[in-house]
Structure formats: structure tokens, C-alpha cells
């Protein structure tokens, strides 16, 4: 049995192509939801026409907004997973597939190992080489790499970062699974083209990473740069729940509400609507690694409000890593049209297909070893 254990918006977007590939091949799988993000993930499932989860590690029905909520959620999921492992795993051993570097990733690794299961890690090998940037993601990556059995790395650089692990099998997926998701989204938009969201030119801003939001100085810097950008462009600022919570906490929200050139999107945008917004924008301002990859695929200029990034996509082409340096940021804002992908062709690989093929091969190998043992 292949078990898929995920729980965040990003994990759903990037792992659903793997689920779609499993279904294409009529391969049964056990879909476990940690409910780290609940509302938003069900809307993502609907867009991709994917099946509902088979098992929920948490009964909560709302998305986590801050660390105060995250700690009891994590512990309750861990306890339930240990006490109810027969139902969670459907009484079947196999490979537990986890993704990325979130608390749900760590949960999956711990619960799989406590149950004597093998772990496959999608998006393995990403490293900033600084445990505090991003935190705790970098630590979760290291732990996951150490205890996984199969590492699916999206690039040669990612493979170089995990080559030291000798007991794990490492596979190059030649791209991130988000490219498969974007390919699916582009097919939908071609079939059902929507109206342009705004008649005027605009840029999109998004902040959500913990190392940004838990550091008041970084939040204030990020907001100041968004306001600078708004002097020349309208800014559509996507407010995640944790971002809205932080802006209220630091009394920064009212500054943005008074800015006529900043459009605050407090209501939920599904992934399809969000990508359509990105496609029609002039450029993107973000602290997220996912948008760094998505804007690379879409050939859209992207300003990264981070000190370091573990991803190579777009750097030197579509993406500008600001390091919170004012000169770098001002250069991007004044010259964003220079930031584009030098190669016009899109990714030709299908990372999800590579992952599923290797999972099948490993499952067969495991079963053959068991049969020989008998």
C-alpha cells in the first residue's frame, strides 16, 4: 500500500499530481490528511477533481493561524496516530509518502517510523544551509532526509545536498511537481478563459513564512517595501490568515488599509483564481518558495523578500533574491521587466510520473523480498 500523508495548502497543490498519476494507473492508495490546513485544501481538491482523504489525523475544521494553535494540534495528531495506527494505515504496511518541510512532513516521518514503515520524501534535498532561515523548515528537511528511505529530489543541486546519505535511494525528478499542477491549471484556463481580474496594471504581494511573520523587524521591512512598490503600481496583497493575524498584532494593517494603491484580499482565493491573478500581473512580491517556482514556470518577474532561498529556480532569470537589501529591491522595482526566463520552452519532464513509477518499482521490490523470506 502507498500511503500519502499531507496537510498544508502547498503540499496539496504539489502532491495532487502524484495522486492523479496513481489513479491513472488504477493504483490504490491511502490518503491521510493532517488538517494543518483544512478549508483551503478541500477547495484545492475540488479544482483538481481529486478524491477526498481516507483518514483525518485531526478533527479540527479550520486552518492553523499561529504557533499557539500549532503545538496542541501537532501533539494531538501524534497521539491519535500512535493510538489508532491500525485504522490510519488500513492494517497495511508499505511506503509513506511525505512532502516538503512542514510540521505535517515531520508528523508523517515520525508516525511512519514508529509503525515500521518506509518513507518517501518528495521535494527532498532543498537546503538554505542555515537552520534559522527558514525556521523550522530547514531543520525539518534535515530530519526528513535522515530518516527517509527514498528521496525524490527536484534538481541536480538538491541531489548534491543529500548525496552524503548512503542508505537512502535518491531519484532526480527533473523538476518540481508544482510544474505538473501548473500544466493542469493552464489547460483549464485555456478551455475556460476568464475575464481579466483588473482593468489596471498591478503586482501581487504575498507574505506567509514563519521566519518573516515571527520577526517584527522583517515584517515591518516587508510592508515598507510593499508600500514603496505601491507608489508606481497597484498592489494586490493576498492576506493569509496568519499574515492578517500578524499585521493586526503589530498594528500594521491600518497603514495598508489607508493606501489607495494597495488592494487587500482578505477573502479566500482558490488556487485557480490565484494563478490567474499571477498570470495577469506585472510582477510578484513574495517570501514563499512555492511562488518562486511558479513564477519561474509562468515566466513572471518575482521579488523574493528573504535573506536566503533553498530553491534555484528563477535565480538570475525571473527571480531577484532581495536579502532585504534596499538597493536590490529598488533595482527590481524599477527594472522588473528585465527579469524573465532566458529559455522560452517550458519544462518537458513530468516529475509526478517519475515519482509514481519509482514508488511502484520499490513496492514490487519490497513484496518480492517478503515472498523470498517466506
Q: Tell which CATH classification among 3.40.640.10, 3.40.190.10, 3.40.50.2000, 3.30.390.30 matches the domain 183-338.
A: 3.40.50.2000
| Model pLDDT, residue 344 | 55
Antiparallel, parallel or unpaired: β 302-304 and 284-286: parallel
In the set 37, 99, 208, 240, the catalytic residue is 208
What confidence category does residue 189 fall into, taking pLDDT thresholds of 50, 70 and 90? Answer: confident
* 304, containing H or E segment: strand 302-304
Residue given cell 482565493 in the structure block = 269
What confidence category does residue 110 fall into, taking pLDDT thresholds of 50, 70 and 90? Answer: very high
Asked if the model's pLDDT at residue 67 lies above 90, the reply is no
CA 164 to chain centre: 25
Residue given cell 515500521 in the structure block = 116
Nearest residue to 223 (alpha-carbon basis) of 279, 294, 278, 287: 287
Asked if the model's pLDDT at residue 266 lies above 90, the reply is no
Q: Is the dihedral of CA 3, 9, 14, 18 positive or negative?
A: positive
**Cα angle 7-5-209, degrees, rounded to a multiple of 5:** 35
Asked if the model's pLDDT at residue 181 lies above 60, the reply is yes
| Contact present, 319 and 295 (Cβ < 8 Å) | yes
CATH 3.40.50.2000 placement within the chain: 2-175+349-373, 183-338
| Model pLDDT, residue 133 | 81
Of the listed ranges 42-51, 61-70, 80-89, 278-287, the least confidently predicted one is: 61-70
Cα-Cα-Cα-Cα torsion 322, 172, 340, 101, nearest 10 degrees, comes to: -30
| Model pLDDT, residue 59 | 84
| Contact present, 57 and 38 (Cβ < 8 Å) | no
The pTM assigned to this predicted structure is 0.83
Domain 2-175+349-373 in CATH 3.40.50.2000 = yes
Phi first, then psi: what are they for 23, rounded to 5°?
Answer: -70, -35
* Per-residue CA distances from 324 to 208, 246, 316 (Å): 16, 19, 17
Asked if the model's pLDDT at residue 119 lies above 90, the reply is yes
Kindly tell me the burial class for residue 215, based on how many C-beta atoms sit within 10 Å of its own C-beta (0-12, 13-18, 19 or more): middle
Asked if the model's pLDDT at residue 139 lies above 70, the reply is yes
| Contact present, 222 and 250 (Cβ < 8 Å) | no
- Length of the chain as a residue count: 374
Of the listed ranges 54-63, 154-163, 217-226, 318-327, the least confidently predicted one is: 54-63
Crossing angle for the helix pair 9-24 and 351-373, nearest 10 degrees?
70
Task: Provide the 3-class DSSP secondary structure of residue 217.
Answer: helix
Q: Tell me the per-residue pLDDT of 202-236, one tens digit each, with 9 for 90 and over.
A: 999 999 888 899 899 999 999 999 999 999 999 99
Asked if the model's pLDDT at residue 320 lies above 90, the reply is yes
Average pLDDT on 72-76 reads 94
129 is catalytic: no
Amino acid at each position: 500500500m502507498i500511503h500519502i500523508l499531507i496537510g498544508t495548502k502547498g503540499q496539496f497543490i504539489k502532491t495532487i499530481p502524484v495522486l492523479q498519476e496513481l489513479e491513472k494507473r488504477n493504483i490504490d492508495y491511502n490518503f491521510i490528511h493532517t488538517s494543518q490546513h483544512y478549508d483551503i485544501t478541500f477547495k484545492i481538491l475540488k479544482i483538481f477533481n481529486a478524491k477526498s482523504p481516507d483518514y483525518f489525523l485531526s478533527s479540527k475544521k479550520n486552518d492553523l493561524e499561529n504557533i499557539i494553535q500549532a503545538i496542541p494540534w501537532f501533539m494531538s495528531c501524534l497521539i491519535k496516530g500512535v493510538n489508532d495506527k491500525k485504522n490510519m494505515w488500513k492494517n497495511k504496511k508499505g511506503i509513506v509518502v511525505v512532502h516538503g518541510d512542514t510540521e505535517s512532513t515531520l508528523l508523517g516521518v515520525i508516525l511512519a517510523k514508529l509503525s515500521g514503515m518506509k518513507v518517501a520524501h518528495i521535494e527532498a534535498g532543498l537546503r538554505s544551509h542555515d537552520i534559522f532561515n527558514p525556521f523550522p523548515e530547514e531543520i525539518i528537511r534535515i530530519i526528513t532526509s535522515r530518516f527517509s528511505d527514498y528521496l525524490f529530489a527536484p534538481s541536480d543541486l538538491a541531489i548534491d545536498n543529500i548525496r552524503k546519505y548512503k542508505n537512502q535511494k535518491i531519484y532526480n525528478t527533473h523538476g518540481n511537481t508544482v510544474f505538473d499542477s501548473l500544466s493542469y491549471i493552464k489547460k483549464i484556463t485555456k478551455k475556460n478563459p476568464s475575464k481579466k481580474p483588473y482593468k489596471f496594471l498591478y503586482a501581487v504581494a504575498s507574505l506567509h513564512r514563519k521566519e518573516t511573520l515571527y520577526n517584527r523587524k522583517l515584517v515591518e521591512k516587508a510592508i515598507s517595501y510593499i508600500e514603496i512598490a505601491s507608489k508606481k503600481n497597484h498592489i494586490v496583497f493576498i492576506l493569509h490568515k496568519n499574515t492578517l493575524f500578524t499585521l493586526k498584532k503589530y498594528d500594521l494593517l491600518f497603514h495598508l488599509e489607508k493606501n489607495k494603491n494597495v488592494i487587500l484580499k482578505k477573502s479566500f482565493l482558490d488556487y485557480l483564481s490565484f494563478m490567474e491573478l499571477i498570470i495577469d500581473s506585472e510582477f510578484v512580491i513574495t517570501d514563499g518558495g512555492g511562488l518562486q517556482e511558479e513564477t519561474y514556470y509562468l515566466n513572471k518577474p518575482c521579488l523574493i523578500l528573504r535573506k536566503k532561498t533553498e530553491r534555484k529556480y528563477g535565480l538570475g532569470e525571473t527571480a531577484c533574491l532581495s536579502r532585504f537589501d534596499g538597493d536590490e529591491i529598488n533595482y527590481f522595482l524599477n527594472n522588473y521587466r528585465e527579469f524573465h526566463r532566458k529559455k522560452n520552452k517550458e519544462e518537458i519532464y513530468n516529475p509526478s510520473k517519475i515519482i509514481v513509477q519509482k514508488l511502484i518499482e520499490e513496492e514490487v521490490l519490497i513484496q518480492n523480498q517478503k515472498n523470498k523470506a517466506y
